[in-house]
A and B are shown apart, each in its own frame.
Chain A
Amino acid sequence: MEPVRGHGQGAGRALDGRTYGVPDGTDTRGVWFNKEIFARAGLPADWQPKTWDDLLSAARTVKAAVPDVIPFNVYAGKGVGEAASMQGFEMLLYGTGDTLYDPSQQKWVVGSTGFTDALQFLRTVYSEGLGPTPQQALDPNWTNTTTEQLIPQGQIAISMEGSWISQDWLETGPMPWPEWSTVMGWTAMPTQQGQAPGSVSMSGGWTWAIPQNADNPDMAWEFITLISGRENQLKWAVDGVQIPVRKDVADDPSYTAANPSNEFFSSLVPTTNYRPAYSLYPRVSNEIQVATESVITGGDVAGAARNYDDQVRSLAGDAVVAATGS
């Protein structure tokens, strides 16, 4: 079988370093922006923010020039669940150089400067009125409201989003919007100060695995081989707006031609990050959502970070390490 490219194989890797699943595709994350709103605000259509400050200053420009739209949507809080952790907070944190988990020591990281900086960024966005109101952001249906309603209606200027959202706007999607590819622009999420590698992305995805007690592992393997073949992976990647994990599918001209955003989001794979998706992660992710909810509703950053550290310490016990340099 064609080798899995770049970081793609990280999706199925477990704590012991062995790979247990065959990924069927992945996703990446970046920054989507509305070029029509940008034109009204005097911002370029080929916008490429290099730092967090570039993001904030563009949002401030939009707020001043086009006051009736939401300048900058970043997911936060428990209402939207994992979107707040992954599309929102982790995209910020992994651009600071800090991480949630130290794989070399197999421990969860607490007390990092990056964690506080990411919370501070969210607090700035929400307290300056650059983002949605907390009431909107904490609505459990907010992710659908943005991609199916507000973005197509031109109500959101910038949104930190997943590679897949144009899926909603295809003819087969819940909100057909043929003009999306000319109205919307997309670019990579910058790192905090523009430090190497310059951009950051988070990735998830699904894998096919065979349970230890499977009745017929050989046939299961045969099935996985079949659906992971080039043709089937190509169809799945095109129809589902997936980021292929097979290099030959990613390089296939029909994949890049199928959707104008495919080539860009697929190109983020070499520098993307995977979550520490171990058994504790859902509860750590919940604590991230609690921390972000606290800062967007006016809570102080240091308190939210301290509370997160305490919670992770009590969840992970000994498997916690204080960030270096703090």
Chain B
Amino acid sequence: MLLTVVFTLVSAIIGQNVLGMSLALLMRAGHRVVRTVVSAIVIGAWVLPEVVAGYLWYAYLGQDGSFNAILGWLRLPEQNWLFTLPILAVSIANIWRGTAFSMLVYAAALSEVPKEIEEAATVDGAGTWRRLFFVTLPMVRRSIATNLMLITLQTLSVFGLIWTMTRGGPNNQSTTLPIFAYQQAFQFSQLGYGTALALVLLLIGALFSLVYLRALRLGESMS
């Protein structure tokens, strides 16, 4: 339960959301060729089936995986996050996979921001950061709320990625609610318990959605 919230916070709300926004902002300023190449790579991760992405990350982060080979080549100590910090490992994988969605949503929203307003802010003497936080982001806040809601609900129900990488282990350290519900319902034949867990998951999703909807309405009354 706590792990599910950690997983959602780290990988969706912080990881995918911030990285997606950053990419969208950077790409607005970038050259056309860079833009095309970056979006192709990021969307490629999004297009990959969940299980394939999970296996890629399992192979990358595993003890004999590519990441340790790179670390060894750089003479850095080996990591074994799949074993020592599995929730971090699956969170990284989920960020990698899901960022494209946020990036696309934000890129679309940012392209709707009129250039004149930002130019006016610059003329008024606002620096880059002030312009971002007081002009640009408030103008796309509705897209932010919608995107947050979508990626939160998506991440709450992530199953295949974690199942492929860790099976919820070791020692249940990456057993999020969907994994736990699956084990109870289909491995231990406790269908009732599994269904109850699914309802709890629904409630958590509803709670997050309420918060975002509230933020969205607040935004509307302000405008």
Contact = CB atoms under 8 A, between A and B. Distances in A.
Interface in B42-66: 58, 62-63
Contact of A78 (B62, B63, B170): B170
B188 A78 contact: no
Q: Which of A77, A81, A140, A286 has the most CB of B within 10 A?
A: A140
Given A79-B170, A293-B170, 16 more contacts: A77-B169, A78-B169, A134-B83, A134-B170, A135-B80, A138-B83, A139-B82, A139-B83, A140-B169, A141-B58, A282-B187, A283-B190, A286-B187, A286-B188, A293-B171, A297-B171
A283 B188 CA distance: 6
B136 interface: no
Nearest to A293: B171
B189 interface: yes
B166 interface: yes
Interface string A54-81: 0000000000000000000000011101
A81 B149 CA distance: 35
B188 A282 contact: yes
Nearest to B164: A140
A282 B183 CA distance: 10
A172 interface: no
B167 interface: yes
A293 B167 CA distance: 14
* A interface majority secondary structure: loop
B167 A78 contact: yes
A135 B188 contact: no
Nearest to B186: A282
A77 B188 contact: no
A48 interface: no
Interface in B102-126: none
A73 to B, nearest CB: 16
A181 interface: no
A19 B188 CA distance: 23
Contacts of B83: 134-135, 138-139
Contact of A138 (B58, B169, B189): B169
Given A135-B63, A138-B83, A293-B171, A282 B166 contact: no
A135 B187 CA distance: 24
Nearest to A136: B63
B189 A79 contact: no
B122 to A, nearest CB: 54
A138 to B, nearest CB: 4
Interface string B179-211: 000010001111000000000000000000000
B187 A79 contact: no
Nearest to A286: B188
22 contacts: A77-B169, A78-B167, A78-B169, A78-B172, A135-B63, A138-B169, A138-B170, A139-B63, A139-B83, A140-B167, A141-B58, A279-B189, A282-B187, A282-B188, A282-B189, A283-B190, A286-B183, A286-B187, A286-B188, A293-B171, A297-B170, A297-B171
A77 B187 contact: no
Contacts of B167: 78-79, 81, 140
A5 to B, nearest CB: 31
B156 to A, nearest CB: 22
A282 B187 CA distance: 7
A85 B83 CA distance: 21
A184 to B, nearest CB: 23
Nearest to A138: B170
Contacts of B172: 78
A293 B172 CA distance: 11
